[in-house]
Amino acid sequence: MNNQQLVQRDLQVMWHPCTQMKDHEWLPLVPIRSGKGVWLEDYDGKRYLDAISSWWVNLFGHAHPAINRALAEQAEQLEHVIMAGFTHEPAVRLAERLVAITPDRLQRVFFAENGSSAVEIALKMSFHYWLNRGQPKRQRFVSLANSYHGETLGALAVGDVALYKETYGPLLLEPIIAPAPDAYLTETGESAEAFAERRLEDMRRIFTQQGDEICAVIVEPLVQCAGYMRMYHPAYLTGLRRLCDEFDIHLIADEIAVGFGRTGSLFACEQAGISPDFMCLSKGLTAGYLPLSAVLMPDSVYQAFYHDYASLKGFLHSHSYTGYALGCTAAHATLDLFEQSDVLARNRQTAARMRSAVEALHDHPQVGDIRQHGMILAIEMVKDKASKTAYDWRERRGMRVYQHGLERGVLLRPLGNVVYFMPPYVINEEEIALMADTAIAGIEAATAA
């Protein structure tokens, strides 16, 4: 089996995610045979540094020996069992561990299979909570401009990235979209924090006018990842928590991409010193090993559903693989790795190294912004630096950086004009240099003409 043979077979039967398949007439599909650490290897023996953690899921590298061992042992014992009416130790212990490490309001865990379904659960549960509490008028959700919460219809509806959402508009429920505290949009001289405070006034206006119709606000804490890695100041979350308390509205933190150490703290909400009412976790939860997600909520939410069966107040939501035992085992192995070494301290060093590795781009005339929250670093390519004028998306300049990266053996996958690093935490100094040098050369090439 070589690359070409597998690609030919693939293009006969497969349909890939987030892809205009016609692009593969000129853009080679990359078949991967194996992975080890930050490296992926194709069927012809060429290696690629996985600078995006395979779509933000991988934490400790591919084919990690400890996670592999744990999974093999669990597979011998129990792969999965129905979670309605039944339970198992990996799920119970994982719920205990998640409650222990997440912010204090979060006391209960509902498991699902992927990020989007976790978001659906949080939305349904918040709405249903208010209904059970005798407030049926609360039917709306607030989300931030440029947010992303997944691709299923409910999750897509509360997102705001036009590329994914616009086509399906007629099918979607309509959230109230609040302006984002995105620090890239600050006016000259204004601090990210002052800008966040201004955006909180917009939210206060929405709450004042429509608060009694609103179930919850959903946000991605600190980084809008799919929304071109736009970042904001933690003061926004602190203020939003206060507003939600004042108006009695749920705060849903979608930490699917930023949880488990990505932004520097174990959970991004910690940097704002807040606890949400619902927290959605997935992606890094299993270090990129198996699909699993969890929604955490306070005991008060649980109690609002706890009644006699005939009251029909129960939360009758399910997915076939809810609480998947092997997934829970991968999550335990992941949390064990966090306990066995000071991952966050190492990440601080790695993050500083990533930063200095792209220092040279600061004065580049086609780089409008370099922003970072911990292990996420993003570089915004612009047509005009002074006015922050974006390149026309049709020019697909990010795609040029992607192609350049593949030639040099680095998997970068820009979002529009934004080149970013979100590598597995185990990346070393030499690999950071390769990743950064490749990105810099790719940006030079993509912006040359």
Ligand X SMILES: *Cc1c(COP(=O)(O)O)cnc(C)c1O
What does the binding site for ligand X look like in residue numbers (CB under 6 A)? 114-116, 119, 148-150, 220, 225-226, 254, 256-257, 282
For residue 296, the one-letter residue type is L
Q: Shortest approach of ligand X to residue 277 CB, angstroms?
A: 17
* SS3 at position 113: coil
* Length reported for the chain: 449
Tell me whether residue 135 or residue 152 sits nearer to ligand X (CB atom).
152
Q: Shortest approach of ligand X to residue 210 CB, angstroms?
A: 24
Q: Shortest approach of ligand X to residue 330 CB, angstroms?
A: 14
Tell me whether residue 231 or residue 432 sits nearer to ligand X (CB atom).
231
DSSP 251: E
- How far is 278 from 137, CA to CA, in rounded Å? 20
Tell me whether residue 164 or residue 302 sits nearer to ligand X (CB atom).
164
Torsion of CA 261, 265, 269, 275, to 10 degrees: 100
φ/ψ of 296, rounded to 5, equals -110, 145
Structure tokens that stand for 131 in this block: 């209904």
- Residue showing the smallest CB distance to ligand X in the complex: 115
Tell me whether residue 181 or residue 368 sits nearer to ligand X (CB atom).
181
Q: Shortest approach of ligand X to residue 282 CB, angstroms?
A: 5
Task: Report whether 415 contacts 228 (CB < 8 A).
Answer: yes
Crossing angle, helix 343-357 and helix 429-447, to 10 degrees?
A: 40
Q: Shortest approach of ligand X to residue 313 CB, angstroms?
A: 28
Burial class of residue 6 in the structure, from the number of CB atoms within 10 Å of its CB (0-12 exposed, 13-18 middle, 19+ buried): middle
Q: Shortest approach of ligand X to residue 291 CB, angstroms?
A: 7
Tell me whether residue 39 or residue 232 sits nearer to ligand X (CB atom).
232
First to last CA, the chain: 39
Tell me whether residue 159 or residue 368 sits nearer to ligand X (CB atom).
159
Tell me whether residue 123 or residue 244 sits nearer to ligand X (CB atom).
123
Tell me whether residue 216 or residue 382 sits nearer to ligand X (CB atom).
216
Tell me whether residue 123 or residue 183 sits nearer to ligand X (CB atom).
123
φ/ψ of 342, rounded to 5, equals -85, 80
Q: Shortest approach of ligand X to residue 253 CB, angstroms?
A: 10
- CA nearest to 159, candidates 254, 75, 84: 254
Distances (CA, A) of 218 to 109, 157, 175, 442: 18, 11, 10, 35
- CA nearest to 378, candidates 392, 366, 367: 367
Q: Shortest approach of ligand X to residue 56 CB, angstroms?
A: 6
* SS3 at position 358: coil
**Other residues' Cβ atoms within 10 Å of the Cβ of residue 154:** 20
- CA nearest to 369, candidates 133, 151, 184: 184
Q: Shortest approach of ligand X to residue 321 CB, angstroms?
A: 13
Tell me whether residue 182 or residue 220 sits nearer to ligand X (CB atom).
220
- How far is 221 from 103, CA to CA, in rounded Å? 13
Q: Shortest approach of ligand X to residue 153 CB, angstroms?
A: 12
Task: Report whether 388 contacts 348 (CB < 8 A).
Answer: no
